[in-house]
Amino acid sequence: MNLETKYLGFTLPNPFIVGAGPIADQVDHARRFEDAGASMIIMRSLFEEQLTAEELAHTRSMDAHANSFAEALTYFPDPADFVLGPHEYLDKLNELKSALTIPVIASLNGVTRGGWLDNARLFEEAGADAIELHIYSLPTDPQTPGAALEQRTLEMVQTVRQAVKIPIAVKLSPFYTSVLNVAQQLVGAGAAGLVLFNRFYHPDIDVEALEIVSRMSLSNSSDLPLRLRGLALLSGRVRASLGVTGGVHTTLDAIKAIMTGADGVQMVSALLRHGPAHLLQLRRELAAWLEQHEYQSLAQMKGSMSFLKCPDPSPFNRASYIKVLQTWNVDSMNV
């Protein structure tokens, strides 16, 4: 079965991509996933705060009288606590490029259009095949309208576009008022791919200790439907590759994502839980499923359940919301 897919201009033998996270931290691990059939691998992000802190530390060491670190930076981990510092990141990228044959994507994560974005060029020089730009901010200033934040995001993409020739993918938040509009503008600004959606780690409250607690939890398949709807909305309406991230664990999850328009299927949680053998299994099961259902290729299935192509898109929109609420049967409940 032909599982080929085009993603960010690369022809990949199958859609399974190791998503941004710790798997590429060790070349050995990365190689095991390549051997299991991963068609691309994305490194963890280098963070704006990390780069800015390094720059400030450098400035401070140059100027004995400057004693003010930006207050906000005190809330972030010390530069030394990040798994990969900026120099180590480039070394790791180099190592991965020498050890692997699949495309290696470097990732930048931040919120402003500052000098830290110059790292995109360093990534390109170090051999990155593409850049995934992860722009995540939590607006807390009531004076800043959403449109201004979207404009800032577009400018960041334009800045990176001007700095490098390699493809840029943007990892999107699901919380835009009109994700389709933002997606089209991002593509206009130079994004070759859009990755749906960033998965947030929401803080919780410890009511006894009166503390806010951050917990990291791996995803499960219930994270996927939000992404499916986003993919279905964008598929065929943006001139960019679409990647899914968040909640792909099973072969059926991957099939749903491809049917709604995903060109690339990124996974992190499932691979951390089950290792490379899982990727191998998904690849085999996907091929078998396509054969059983008499598809000629993966490409034939792609986007078949998008808004533009599915027989009845109404369940994707407000109609289904109203129907679901109105048809809930209270008789079977304990009321």
Binding site for ligand FMN (CB under 6 A): 19-22, 44-45, 107, 109, 134, 171, 199, 218-219, 223, 245-248, 267-270
Q: How far is the CB of 170 from ligand FMN (least distance, A)?
A: 11
> Measured between alpha carbons, how far is 112 from 52 in angstroms, rounded to an integer?
11
Q: How far is the CB of 219 from ligand FMN (least distance, A)?
A: 3
Nearer to ligand FMN, 109 or 119 (CB): 109
Q: Which of 8, 9, 30 is nearest to 20 (CA)?
A: 30
What are the distances in angstroms from CA 248 to CA 19, 52, 62, 243, 276? 11, 33, 48, 11, 15
Bridge partner list, 316: none
**Are the beta carbons of 85 and 78 closer than 8 angstroms?**
no
Q: How far is the CB of 197 from ligand FMN (least distance, A)?
A: 8
Nearer to ligand FMN, 261 or 307 (CB): 261
Q: How far is the CB of 279 from ligand FMN (least distance, A)?
A: 12
- Euclidean distance between the first and the last CA atom of the chain, given in angstroms as a whole number: 52
Nearer to ligand FMN, 235 or 269 (CB): 269
According to DSSP H, which parts of the chain are helical?
Answer: 27-35, 48-62, 86-99, 119-125, 146-163, 179-188, 224-234, 251-259, 269-274, 276-292, 298-301, 318-326
Q: How far is the CB of 77 from ligand FMN (least distance, A)?
A: 13
Nearer to ligand FMN, 196 or 305 (CB): 196
**Are the beta carbons of 296 and 46 closer than 8 angstroms?**
no
Q: Which of 225, 169, 185, 224 is nearest to 20 (CA)?
A: 169
Q: How far is the CB of 198 from ligand FMN (least distance, A)?
A: 6
Nearer to ligand FMN, 269 or 307 (CB): 269
Q: How far is the CB of 221 from ligand FMN (least distance, A)?
A: 9
| Structure tokens given for 156 | 């960041």
**Are the beta carbons of 164 and 121 closer than 8 angstroms?**
yes
Nearer to ligand FMN, 81 or 141 (CB): 81
Q: How far is the CB of 292 from ligand FMN (least distance, A)?
A: 25
Nearer to ligand FMN, 195 or 307 (CB): 195
Q: Which of 113, 121, 115 is nearest to 93 (CA)?
A: 121
> Measured between alpha carbons, how far is 248 from 104 in angstroms, rounded to an integer?
21
Nearer to ligand FMN, 171 or 283 (CB): 171
